[in-house]
Chain A
Amino acid sequence: MLLITCPNCGVAAEETELHAGGEAHITRFGPEASENDFEDYLFRRENPRGVHFERWRHANGCGKWFHAARCTATLEVFGTYSAQTTEPPREILETIRAKRPAWTWRDLK
């Protein structure tokens, strides 16, 4: 069972209360972008076995979006944080570095 704590309402929500929103921190490339950038934005996704950053919505709860850092192999949740950010906060990165010294995700490590 996957329990993720929603930072907006503080509930340790069971997975069925949540809606998965896909990969986090994707930069939007619009109509003026190059074809490569636009393709990356639309289609290219990380598919890690290990540390991953995702968007979730507390759909059957407070209704708000947030970010979660978790391990796709063990379901360990390293932390959750505000949806209103373009990168993981430092304390989340430090938690991951301490627990998974060899991890990488895009250009983070």
Chain B
Amino acid sequence: MSEPVSALNGASFGGYCDVTEIGLRGMVTLRGDLSAAAFKKVIEAETGLTVPGQRKIVHGKVVSLAWMSPDELLLLVSYRDAAATAARLADSLNHQHAMAVDVSDARASFRIEGSACREVLAKLAPVDLYPEAFGHGDIRRTRLAQVAGAIWMPDEASFEVVCFRSVARYVFDLLSEAARHGGQVGYPVET
């Protein structure tokens, strides 16, 4: 049995914010009609979480559930549990036009920590990251320079980023460059 490893094996960078590859993380993509009661019922029973509204992410003790599009959710679980969780959900959704797939090995994730974390992301994504526009509980799919990614804030002083595993090094380098000492630009501007 080969040992699973994450894309960058937990790489980290220290700047005015710290950038860390989170390492192995379980992710299950759920496709289905998010407005359908039958779909919601299965998801809520299996995850113990309420299906989040548009561009929202909800956090439980061990799992998180994110709104990705009108017919897609992303369930974050421990890496160890991902395959079994996907199989159980697929089984429960068996009679619906829906799908649950373990995509853990297709992704990489990062944490950006520091009080100036908003500006690290604001340098890379065409998104309003002022506190009035984006905060804890929100998730945003966007681009990070040239590649797609999703970002959210577990708390006021950190971001988490998910991207495709194939661009993990690119995203890590982007985030590190944006977080480098001496590169702080003072975002958001105090008014």
Residue numbers of B with Cβ under 8 A of A are 54-55, 68-70, 126, 140-143, 148
Residue numbers of A with Cβ under 8 A of B are 8-11, 13-14, 16-17, 59-64
Chain B residue, CB-CB nearest to A61: B141
Given A14-B126, A60-B148, check contact A9 B69 (CB 8 Å): yes
Q: Is the CB of A16 within 8 A of B126?
A: yes
Given A9-B55, A14-B126, A16-B126, check contact A61 B142 (CB 8 Å): yes
Count of A-B contacts judged by CB separation below 8 Å: 33
Q: A9 CA to B35 CA in the complex, in Å?
A: 14
Q: Kindly list chain A residues whose C-beta atoms are within 8 Å of the C-beta of B126.
A: 13-14, 16-17
Candidates A10, A59, A60, A64; contact of B54 at CB < 8 Å:
A10
Q: For the complex formed, measure the closest distance between the CB of A83 and the CB atoms of chain B, giving whole angstroms.
A: 12
Q: A55 CA to B172 CA in the complex, in Å?
A: 33
User: 3 nearest interchain CB pairs?
Assistant: A60-B143, A14-B126, A62-B69
30 contacts between A and B (CB under 8 A): A8-B69, A9-B54, A9-B55, A9-B69, A9-B70, A9-B141, A10-B54, A10-B55, A11-B55, A11-B140, A13-B126, A14-B126, A16-B126, A16-B143, A17-B126, A17-B142, A17-B143, A59-B148, A60-B141, A60-B142, A60-B148, A61-B142, A62-B68, A62-B69, A62-B70, A62-B141, A63-B69, A63-B141, A64-B69, A64-B70
Q: Kindly list chain B residues whose C-beta atoms are within 8 Å of the C-beta of A16.
A: 126, 143
Q: Kindly list chain A residues whose C-beta atoms are within 8 Å of the C-beta of B148.
A: 59-60
Q: A8 CA to B67 CA in the complex, in Å?
A: 12
Q: A91 CA to B48 CA in the complex, in Å?
A: 41
Q: Kindly list chain B residues whose C-beta atoms are within 8 Å of the C-beta of A59.
A: 148
Q: Kindly list chain B residues whose C-beta atoms are within 8 Å of the C-beta of A63.
A: 69, 141
Q: For the complex formed, measure the closest distance between the CB of B2 and the CB atoms of chain A, giving whole angstroms.
A: 32
Q: A64 CA to B126 CA in the complex, in Å?
A: 18
Q: A88 CA to B142 CA in the complex, in Å?
A: 27
Q: A17 CA to B150 CA in the complex, in Å?
A: 12
Q: A105 CA to B55 CA in the complex, in Å?
A: 35
Q: A61 CA to B147 CA in the complex, in Å?
A: 11
Q: Kindly list chain A residues whose C-beta atoms are within 8 Å of the C-beta of B55.
A: 9-11
Q: A61 CA to B141 CA in the complex, in Å?
A: 5
Q: For the complex formed, measure the closest distance between the CB of A65 and the CB atoms of chain B, giving whole angstroms.
A: 11
